[in-house]
Structure formats: structure tokens, C-alpha cells
Amino acid sequence: MRSVPQDNQLVYVGLDVHKDSISAGVLTPGREVPEVDRFFADEVCLRRFLEPLGDPKRLRVCYEAGPTGFELARLLQALRVPCAVIAPSLIPRAPGDRIKTDRRDARRLVRLFAAGQLTRIHVPSRQEEAVRDLCRARTDMVIDRNRARHRLSKFLLRHGEVYRGGTEWTDRHDRWLTGIRFQDPALQTTFRHYRGVIEARTAELRAVEGDLIGWWARDPFAEAVHRLGAYRGITHLGALSIAAEVTDWRRFPRAETFMGFCGLVPSEYSSGTHTWRGRITGTGNTQLRTHFVESAWSYRHRPAIGRDMAKRHDGVDPEVLARAWHAQQRLCTKFRRLAARKNAQKLVAVAVARELAGFCWAEMTA
């Protein structure tokens, strides 16, 4: 992430983009008050709007990242118009401003853009975005399956069926479910539908995971997947998801910046002699935060290289393996040390996840 520089010889344009309309604030050299225009959100109208503004090399266009995605940025790049996609959460806002309209948003955006007060985000390539969407589809399917499992568990609990044979959703648990019979036909039908939903979600999840397998051996993800897969708790599928979310690791100047992007750093309020730090910010990329926290739980055991990890180590550079082993020793020790002091194991997992994110950043920028 980096701020947008100021240049008084350029024409700045701030776009407030919606599905069917775009409000544009234009700040030309020598003017202090932006002009505002509004047009339909399609390529023809965009070209008609840009034509009177002159040479595309003198234009600097920006818009907030949002549900419309990056297609507008790619279209402007094809027209040779420099475009910055702005992080919405980092736009300065006046505390007393309680009026929001498209015209006001366009004016404020172009003024801040010309003043260099906005922070742009990375725009992935079409292939990177496509694989990222496929990884996120898998995450959505995992969530859907977990919800279906939760509904079935609570249904059985309401009717006195409690599994006490160990871990749920194993082969043994599945055999126990198969043996359940309800005397009431309506209850039996409900039970059958709940199980059918779980089976359908499981089949969908396996299908999307099968589609993802081929991508971790292809460019531009292959190198990142092999290097990240050397670390404990990060499978090839998890490494692909992380690589697809980050794409460009060097846009983060320090490990702390990447940790903050993942939302794993503690919130802080410090003023004068008073310092207060609270729970993690939880902002930034939810997908990355989830992956790192789930991977952190594997460090609660002592350092070791299991069968699956040994397979992932095949063909990996020895220097990468040495860094991964050092990270495993440090994080396993940290997990045990913190677990001995804290009752909440989730807090320990988050602390280890934060440091694991730092190790991954260091690996990918080495």
C-alpha cells in the first residue's frame, strides 16, 4: 500500500461507483472546487466522459474498492488512463460529517486524492482474482457444511440423541448416525433431510477441492505454494488460498504491516502517559486471518515432521526447509509457554498465528 502523490499539472478524477451510475468529481489545474458529473456505468458513457478531459497521460483517476470489483480499473488501464483503487477503510472522514450523497462523496474523494491523502490497494490480475474467488467459494462451502452439521446436532439434542463416542463427524460418528431411527414419521423425514443436506455439502466441497488441486502447481502460484507448504499447519490447499489472497508480498514493507493487513495485531489506544492495548483489530483480510489461526493450532504439539509434511517437503529448497524448521521450533515453544500461563487457548492460537504470518511474510520476501 502506498499514498498517491500530488502533482498540480495533472487532472484528478474521483469516481463514486455504483451498479448503474457513476458520479465523477473532476479537479483541473488552477481550480479549488471540483466539478461533478454523473453518467451511466458502462464503457460507452465512460469513454464519452473521459474524451473532453484531454490526454490520458495527464489524468489520474481513483475510486473506492467495493462490490463492483476491479473491472473498472482494468478498463481504464486498457484506455491507458492511470487508475488507483482506494482502500475505503483508510479514507479520512470528518467526525461531524453526517451528510452523505454521491456528489459529496465524489468531491471529497477527488480532493483527498489530489492532496495525496488516500491509500491505494493492489489490483490482482484476472487469473489471480479467478483463483482467489475459487478459494473463497471453497471457504463458503465449508461454512455451509458446518452450519448444516450444527443444525443436525441441535435437532438430535432436542430429541435426546447425544453422541458420546468421541470426536464428531468421523467414520464412527457417521455409523452412529446411520443407526438412528425415530418412531414418528415426521421426525424421521426431518432427520433424513438434514443428513441429505450434509452429504450434498460434502460432495460440493470435495468437487471444488478437486478443481483447486491443479492450480497450486501452475504459475503464478507454484513457487509460493511450495515454499509456504513447507511450514507446519499449511497444506498445499491452504498455501494456495494464502498466495491467492496476497498475490504481491512485497507491497508490505514490514512483517508488522502484513500482520495488520491480516487483522492479527492488537488494538491500541495510547495518549500521554496512558497506554491501553486490547483484543486484535479483526480488520483487514478475513480469509488470511482464518487460515493463519487454523494453522496455528498445529503448533500446540511438540516439533516434528509428520508423513504429510514430509511429502510437502519433497523438492523444496533446503534453505526454505531450514527456515520452516526454525519457525516450527519457535512457535511450538511459544504455544506451550503461553498455554501454561493463559486459560483461553484461543488467545494463544491468535498470538501464534500473528507470528506465523510474520514468518510467512519473511519467507516470501527473502
Q: Is the pLDDT of residue 246 over 50?
A: yes
Last residue of a domain, which of 80, 99, 120?
A: 120
Last residue of a domain, which of 149, 184, 217?
A: 217
Q: Does 315 lie in the same domain as 266?
A: yes
d(CA 47, CA 76): 9
* Per-residue model confidence (pLDDT) at position 1: 40
Average predicted confidence (pLDDT) for the chain: 93
* Per-residue model confidence (pLDDT) at position 343: 85
Q: Does 114 lie in the same domain as 196?
A: no
Q: Does 271 lie in the same domain as 158?
A: no
Q: Does 172 lie in the same domain as 249?
A: no
pLDDT digits (tens, 9 = 90+) for 288-318: 999 999 999 999 999 999 999 999 999 999 9
Which whole-number Å values give the CA distances from 309 to 110, 245, 334, 361, in the listed order?
A: 50, 23, 21, 20
Which structural domain range is residue 173 located in?
A: 126-217
Strand boundaries in the chain, DSSP class E: 2-3, 11-17, 21-27, 35-40, 59-64, 83-86, 119-120, 266-271, 274-280
Name the residue among 334, 332, 335, 322 with its Cα closest to residue 362: 322
Q: How many domains does the chain have?
A: 3
In the predicted model, what is the mean pLDDT of residues 67-85?
95
* Per-residue model confidence (pLDDT) at position 8: 59
In the predicted model, what is the mean pLDDT of residues 57-71?
95
Q: Does 108 lie in the same domain as 21?
A: yes
* Per-residue model confidence (pLDDT) at position 4: 46
Last residue of a domain, which of 120, 141, 173?
A: 120
* Per-residue model confidence (pLDDT) at position 5: 45
One-letter amino acid of 246: V
pLDDT digits (tens, 9 = 90+) for 2-22: 444 445 589 999 999 999 999
d(CA 179, CA 114): 68
Out of 48-52, 90-94, 307-311, pick the least confident: 90-94
Q: What pTM, to 2 d.p., does this model score?
A: 0.88
* Per-residue model confidence (pLDDT) at position 98: 84
Q: Does 229 lie in the same domain as 359?
A: yes
